[in-house]
Amino acid sequence: MTAAIDPLLHVRRLSKIYAGVPVLDRVDIDVMRGEIVMVVGPSGAGKSTMLRCINRIEDPSEGEVIVDGINMAGELRGGRLIADSSTQTARKRQKVGMVFQRFNLFAHLTALDNVAIGPQRVLRLPREESRRIASELLERVKLKAHANKRPWQLSGGQQQRVAIARALAMQPVLMLFDEPTSALDPELVGEVLEVIRNLAKDGMTMLVVTHEMQFAREVGTRIVFMDGGRIVEEAAPQVFFTSPRHDRSREFLRRVGRGNADQVG
């Protein structure tokens, strides 16, 4: 058995080309179980596109994504890739949780039902059990008191915490965060980062696209710097923030202020 040392996420030559322009350009990355990879870089670097191609919310133009030993594109038979149907892709996607910049809570459902709908409709658990799971998860993100509110009755920070609970309800092996605090008022950023921090402590494997450098430095086990659709530099947080190797990394860090708390905001 080699499962223990195999990466949980294995990405090779992942590319996305829009109208002839490579937004994501032959990206390779491996993420081990329990790693917290912080993806940073200027806007338009392809960070979000990389996440969206990993769980196939967007179809990559090229490349291979393997999550927990499962090829996200299809089955290899006799050296040939038999592409999945959209239903098979949906099933594989269950294991990859995603949290969006704009929360995207289901507008017609209460906080509780937003979390319960996945277990109930996708995992086909009984309604009562789904709601119990949802209730526990809302407690975990400290929102049990708001269980019966609709998304528009919640603050941005609360909505994002519900969105995290919704993703966790599917018991993912990997969580993707796409700028989870970028749409939040500054005073609400902390409560969302706190939830992500706790997830990290619990050992969840995560890929986090973020502009919160201080947070990336504290919580990340590795920093991935992207620019122009490619991974330019990968390093441990201490190394990346103190002695970046590439000019573009240095330029980026100079502009965002090195991730020092006193320079954020």
Q: Are 165 and 140 in contact (CB under 8 A)?
A: yes
Give the Cα separation of 54 and 62 in Å (integer): 11
Q: Are 92 and 72 in contact (CB under 8 A)?
A: yes
Minimum CB distance to another protein, residue 55 (Å): 6
CB nearer to another protein: pick between 164 and 219: 164
CB nearer to another protein: pick between 93 and 161: 93
Burial (0-12, 13-18, 19+ Cβ within 10 Å), 183: middle
Minimum CB distance to another protein, residue 34 (Å): 22
Q: How far is CA 67 from CA 9, 55, 97, 129, in A?
A: 5, 9, 12, 27
Minimum CB distance to another protein, residue 86 (Å): 6
Q: Are 234 and 246 in contact (CB under 8 A)?
A: no
CB nearer to another protein: pick between 13 and 121: 121
CB nearer to another protein: pick between 76 and 90: 90
Minimum CB distance to another protein, residue 14 (Å): 18
Minimum CB distance to another protein, residue 102 (Å): 6
For residue 24, count other CB atoms closer than 10 A to its CB: 27
CB nearer to another protein: pick between 51 and 253: 51
CB nearer to another protein: pick between 41 and 97: 97
Minimum CB distance to another protein, residue 162 (Å): 11
Structure tokens at 247: 């000019």
Q: What is the residue-wise DSSP string for 160-213?
A: HHHHHHHHHTT--SEEEEESTTTTS-HHHHHHHHHHHHHHHHTT-EEEEE-S-H
Question: Residue numbers of the site for another protein (CB under 8 A)?
Answer: 55, 57, 86-87, 90-91, 93-94, 96-98, 100, 102, 104-108, 117-118, 121-122, 163, 166-167, 169-170
CB nearer to another protein: pick between 36 and 165: 165
Give the Cα separation of 19 and 243 in Å (integer): 37
CB nearer to another protein: pick between 106 and 190: 106
Minimum CB distance to another protein, residue 66 (Å): 18
Minimum CB distance to another protein, residue 25 (Å): 23
Q: Which long-range contacts does 132-140 make (Cβ < 8 Å, 24+ apart)?
A: 133/169, 134/165, 134/169, 137/165, 137/168, 137/169, 138/111, 138/112, 138/162, 138/165, 140/165, 140/168, 140/198
